[in-house]
Each structure stands twice: as C-alpha cells, then as structure tokens.
Amino acid sequence: MPRATSDAKLLIQSLTKAYAATPTNLKIIDLYVICAVATALMQVAYMGLVGSFPFNSFLSGVLSCIGTAVLAVCLRIQVNKDNKEFKDLPPERAFADFILCNLVLHLVMMNFLG
C-alpha cells in the first residue's frame, strides 16, 4: 500500500521536524523520561529471566522508575510555555513540587525494598 507507506514517511518526517523545534529544557525532560522508562523495561526483562521473587523489591524498582517518569511528564506539562492552563504557575514552583513528589516516592520505595 504505497499510500500508507508514504503517509508513514510523511508522518515521521513532520514529527521529527516539529520535535526539533521544541525548547531545550523540554528536550532534557524528555530524555530523562526515556531513560527512566528504559530502566523500567530493563528491570522487567531481568525479572523475566530470574523470576519475580522477592516481588516487593521488583515492584518497588519498577514503580520508582515509572513514578519518576510520570512525575517528569507532569513537570514537562507545567513548565511548557505553550500550555495556557499553567500560564500562572512559576516554573520554580513546578520544579519544587516535582522534587517533593520524587522525595516521597523514593522514601516510600526505600521502605518497600525490603
């Protein structure tokens, strides 16, 4: 289906072009998110190899990665200047919230590691 492939190529091209235009701070956050998700996937692959005992350690590891990725996405939303809903939120406040939530996440995770 030539139309589909040309569509796909056009899609990828326009996506890469538009993404290149995003500001650097957002790109850094995106990189962080990708790293966190990659770490989570590696942990899941490792669990597939050696089994899931002890389950609480596996869960705490995966959830800390997913959790920090999700929190970083929330930070990205709040810091993004094109976002009309969060216009009044100073980026320092957004970052402080991000740090606080990460702190709580990792403290609980440390308790759960066992």
Partner 1 sequence: MASTALDFLPAPLRSLRLKTKQQELLLRVSALALIYVLAFAVRLFSVLRYESMIHEFDPYFNYRTTLFLSENGFSEFWNWFDSESWYPLGRVVGGTLFPGLMVTAALLHRLLRALSLAVHIREVCVLTAPFFAANTTLVAYAFGREIWDSGAGLVAAALIAIVPGYISRSVAGSYDNEGVAIFALLLTFYLFVRAVNTGSLAWALASAFGYFYMVSAWGGYVFIINLVPLYVLVLLVTGRYSQRLYVAYNCMYVLGMLLAMQIRFVGFQHVQSGEHMAAMGVFFLLQVFFFLDWVKYLLNDARLFKSFLRITLTCVITVGTLALVIGTASGYISPWTGRFYSLLDPTYAKDHIPIIASVSEHQPTAWSSFMFDFHILLFLFPAGLYFCFKRLSDATIFIVMYGLTSMYFAGVMVRLILVAAPAVCLISAIAASATIKNLTTLIRTKSKSPQVTSGKTTGSKAAAKGAVDQSLPFQHNAAIALLLGAFYLLSRYAIHCTWVTSEAYSSPSIVLAARGHNGGRVIFDDYREAYYWLRQNTPPDAKIMSWWDYGYQITAMGNRTVIVDNNTWNNTHIATVGRAMSSYEDEAYEIMQSLDVNYVLVVFGGVTGYSSDDINKFLWMVRIGGGVFPVIKEPDYLVNGEYRVDKGASPKMLNCLMYKLCYYRFGELTTEYGKPPGYDRVRGVEIGNKDIKLEYLEEAYTTSNWIVRIYKVKPPKNRS
- We find the least distance from the C-beta atom of residue 76 to partner 1, in angstroms, to be 9
1 binds partner 1 (CB under 8 A): no
The site map against partner 1 for 34-73 (x = CB under 8 A) is: ---------------------xx--xx--x--xx--xx-x
9 CB burial (10 A radius; 0-12, 13-18, 19+): exposed
**Contact flag: residue 10 with partner 1 (CB under 8 A):** yes
Residue type, 57: S
* Distance separating alpha carbons of residues 95 and 89, to the nearest angstrom: 10
* Joined tokens for residue 25: 């701070």
Angle among Cα 80, 83, 86 to the nearest 5 degrees reads 90
For tokens 């072009």, the residue is 17
Q: Based on the shown chain and the rule CB under 8 A, indicate whether residue 86 belongs to the binding site for partner 1.
A: yes
Site residues (vs partner 1, CB under 8 A): 4, 7, 10-11, 14-15, 18-19, 55-56, 59-60, 63, 66-67, 70-71, 73-75, 77-78, 82-83, 85-86, 89, 94, 97-98, 100-101, 104-105, 108-109, 111-112
